[in-house]
Each structure stands twice: as C-alpha cells, then as structure tokens.
Amino acid sequence: MSAAKGTVRSGWVSWIAGPVLLAGLTFAIRDHGATRAETGVPPGPLLLDGLGTDAARARSW
C-alpha cells in the first residue's frame, strides 16, 4: 500500500513542481538574441520540445 501512495505522491509533486520549474526557466532567459547566439538554438523550440504543442500554444496566448 505504501508503494502506491508513494507513486501517487510523486505524480502530485511533479504536477506542481514542473510548471514552477518551467516558469523559472522561461523567465530566466532575459535576452533571447544572446541566448540564440550562444547556443545556436532559439529558446522557443527548446520549450516546445519540452512542453509539447498544446502547452506552448497556451503559454503564447
């Protein structure tokens, strides 16, 4: 029974912490041009790959 509770708790923590961490990443990128020059990849596609199209569309709205 405790394994099932741990699995559910892990899901809830991920569900809460995930958007917080993604928001932190998004707001940490201050200069998009410099980020693109350093990495060769703009931040948008990186977030799109990580979030998926639905979340990216919701974020850009």
Q: Are 47 and 22 in contact (CB under 8 A)?
A: yes
pTM of the model: 0.45
**What percentage of the chain's residues is helix, strand, coil (to nearest 5)?**
85, 0, 15
Res. 61: pLDDT tops 60: no
Taking only the tens place, the pLDDT of each residue in 5-52 is: 889 999 999 888 888 887 887 777 777 777 677 767 676 676 677 767
How far is the C-alpha of 23 from the C-alpha of 11, rounded, in Å? 19
Domain boundaries, the chain: 2-60
Res. 56: pLDDT tops 70: no
pLDDT of amino acid 19: 86
